[in-house]
Amino acid sequence: MQVGLKVWRFNSRSGERELQEFEISAPEEATLLDCLDIVKDKHDGTLAYRKSCRMMICGSCGMRMDGAAVLACKVRMYEIAEAGHVPVISAMGNLPIVKDLVVDMQPFWEKFKSVNPYLQPGYDEPPDGKEYRVKQERMNVIHKEALCINCGCCVSECNAMESDPDFLGPQALAKGMRFVGDPRDGAKLARLEKLNGEHGIWECTRCYFCNERCPKGVDPRDAIAKLGAESVMEGIDRDMGAKHAKWFVTSAKTTGWLRETELVPKTQGVVTAIKQTKFALGLAMKGKVPPPFPPHVAKNVQESRRLYDLVHEQGIAGYAGIVQGEHALAKLSHGNVQGESLEQIYDRPGSFSRPYLQDEEIPSGSEGGMGALNQADTTPGEEPTKMYGDNQPGEGAAK
Ligand code: SF4
Ligand code: SF4
Ligand code: FES
């Protein structure tokens, strides 16, 4: 097939930029990365881009196609070429360009390192020859976050990072959640404190571009929501963003509506609210805000109150509630037969994994034992993990 590409070239020494067009012949199964390889091999050897695995694993080949971040080795070119479209390829956003499609990942790695992306276990070693086991349901909580390959596509499209380059950003925060939600980690509260600091979780504008662009389904915005919910549950709510979120919940629970008029005093305090009086009066005169008293109560307010009570009865406040919500949404997208219980839905072949609910019984057939620490009981497993080489020939890989 014939493929057209327009590539933004950049020379960091001279600062010159140039849009260069290429027309190449490529096999029908070619990806964008294959096409760039052909350009480099046969047309212009000076073109610079990163790659390694060519199979969506290493995270090296992040770049923009028509203004949106992609993994070049994931994008098939057949339909694009067939449609006669010539895509514009450029370097990722929010990171300094070194040359052509290569960006300087140093700021990315600095933020990555700042969230301590490694386990900090807070429990004693198990008795000799034993090990701690973690229930699958507990690890399901961080399944998506653990899929991150550090490609930077989410960072490239993050609105909040455009206005504050020091914002930790979707990748570092998703990595933060990966350890906050890990039952083996002993630094949960210290991590949450840090992630609630300046340039932390509450700077996210909830634009959802990171979810949209992540090539691995990590959904970093959802991870940030989990961190926010867990912070509030743990009483780490000093940030205005946390206060804002708490007021949303109170408002929905008490009236079924979002009472915007009370948002500023509840979030920013009375003094700030008084300073905004003139602005608020202006809005009121234009009919933009309803009078705060008496508060308007929705007809079916009991539904939102029941929802609130359910979350607390089931012990799914904090990130567990958001994981539950994610699964519920996934379930909806799979269709829901009238009267089908949640258990039946999770038991369907191909259904999403059942999320962890605090204080629940271990489901039959599930691994017994838990991770560790303040979030879980520490029960040593009966048998140590088999090491590679323990297997007899023909038994397959070590467990
Ligand atoms: S949702 Fe938040 S973290 Fe994700 S891209 Fe938007 S501002 Fe950035
Ligand atoms: S969260 Fe997704 S887009 Fe962001 S670095 Fe990880 S894999 Fe890439
Ligand atoms: S080359 Fe490794 S992810 Fe694309």
Could you please report the per-residue DSSP string of 267-320? HH-HHHHHHTHHHHHHHHHTT-S--SSSPP--TTHHHHHHHHHHHHHTT--THH
Interval between CA 326 and ligand 3 midpoint (Å): 28
Pocket test for ligand 1, best of 92, 168, 207 (most atoms within 8 A of CB): 207
Interval between CA 103 and ligand 3 midpoint (Å): 15
- Which pTM was predicted? 0.81
Statement to judge: residues 129 and 93 lie in one domain = no
Pocket test for ligand 3, best of 34, 49, 57 (most atoms within 8 A of CB): 57
- Tell me which amino acid residue 315 is: G
Does a structural domain hold residue 310? no
Statement to judge: residues 39 and 50 lie in one domain = yes
Which ligand is located closest to the Cα atom of residue 33?
3
Statement to judge: residues 61 and 204 lie in one domain = no
Q: What is the DSSP letter of 215?
A: T
Q: What is d(CA 384, CA 388) in angstroms, rounded to the nearest whole number?
A: 12
What is residue 367's predicted lDDT score, i.e. its pLDDT? 40
Q: What is d(CA 224, CA 200) in angstroms, rounded to the nearest whole number?
A: 9
Interval between CA 332 and ligand 1 midpoint (Å): 25
What is residue 385's predicted lDDT score, i.e. its pLDDT? 52
Statement to judge: residues 80 and 163 lie in one domain = no
Pocket test for ligand 3, best of 58, 92, 218 (most atoms within 8 A of CB): 58
Residues 6+ positions from 283 with CB-CB distance below 8 Å: 289
Statement to judge: residues 73 and 155 lie in one domain = no
pLDDT block averages, 10 residues each, the chain of length 399: 97 91 97 98 97 96 97 96 97 96 97 96 75 74 91 97 96 97 90 96 95 93 94 92 88 85 74 73 74 77 85 76 69 61 69 55 42 38 51 40
Residue 151 alpha carbon, nearest atom of ligand 3: 3
Among 103, 136, 153, identify where a domain stops.
103
Residue 220 alpha carbon, nearest atom of ligand 2: 1
What is residue 73's predicted lDDT score, i.e. its pLDDT? 97
Q: Whose CA is nearest to atom 6 of ligand 2?
A: 148
Q: Which residues pair with 380 in a beta bridge?
A: 132
365 CB-contact burial (10 Å; exposed 0-12 / middle 13-18 / buried 19+): exposed
The CATH number that applies at residue 334 is 1.10.1060.10
Statement to judge: residues 99 and 154 lie in one domain = no
What is residue 198's predicted lDDT score, i.e. its pLDDT? 93
Which ligand is located closest to the Cα atom of residue 63?
3
What is residue 96's predicted lDDT score, i.e. its pLDDT? 95
* Ligand 2 binding pocket includes 211 (Cβ within 6 Å): no
* Ligand 2 binding pocket includes 148 (Cβ within 6 Å): yes
Statement to judge: residues 116 and 175 lie in one domain = yes
Q: What is d(CA 231, CA 190) in angstroms, rounded to the nearest whole number?
A: 11
Q: Please, how many CA atoms are within 13 Å of residue 386, restricted to the half-sphere of its CB? A: 10
Distances (CA, A) of 101 to 91, 169, 228, 281, 331: 4, 21, 34, 51, 39
| Overall number of domains in the chain | 2
Q: Which two tokens stand for residue 333?
A: 């997208």
* Ligand 3 binding pocket includes 216 (Cβ within 6 Å): no
* Ligand 3 binding pocket includes 249 (Cβ within 6 Å): no
Residue 157 alpha carbon, nearest atom of ligand 1: 5
Q: What is d(CA 243, CA 270) in angstroms, rounded to the nearest whole number?
A: 13
Residue 206 alpha carbon, nearest atom of ligand 1: 1
What is residue 203's predicted lDDT score, i.e. its pLDDT? 96
Number of other residues whose CB lies within 10 A of the CB of residue 32: 25
Q: Can you state the angle between helices 301-313 and 240-255, rounded to 10 degrees?
A: 120
Statement to judge: residues 36 and 92 lie in one domain = yes
Q: Which of 10, 178, 172, 238 shows the shortest CA–CA distance to 104? A: 10
Does a structural domain hold residue 268? no
Q: What is d(CA 173, CA 222) in angstroms, rounded to the nearest whole number?
A: 10
Q: Which residue range(s) make up the domain with 87?
A: 2-103
Q: What is d(CA 174, CA 171) in angstroms, rounded to the nearest whole number?
A: 5
Interval between CA 126 and ligand 2 midpoint (Å): 34
Statement to judge: residues 24 and 144 lie in one domain = no
The CATH number that applies at residue 76 is 3.10.20.30
Statement to judge: residues 125 and 92 lie in one domain = no
Interval between CA 57 and ligand 2 midpoint (Å): 11
Beta strands, E only, 49-136: 62-65, 68-71, 88-90, 97-99, 102-103
Q: What is d(CA 381, CA 126) in angstroms, rounded to the nearest whole number?
A: 9
Q: Which residues pair with 55 in a beta bridge?
A: none
Which ligand is located closest to the Cα atom of residue 176?
2
For residue 361, the surrounding DSSP H or E stretch is: none
What is residue 216's predicted lDDT score, i.e. its pLDDT? 92
Does a structural domain hold residue 156? yes
The phi and psi torsions of 345 (rounded to 5 degrees) equal: -65, -40
Distances (CA, A) of 316 to 137, 199, 310, 339: 14, 27, 9, 22
Residues 43-75: b if buried by 16+ CB within 10 A, e if exposed: eeeebbbbbeeeebebbbbbbbbeeebbbbbbb
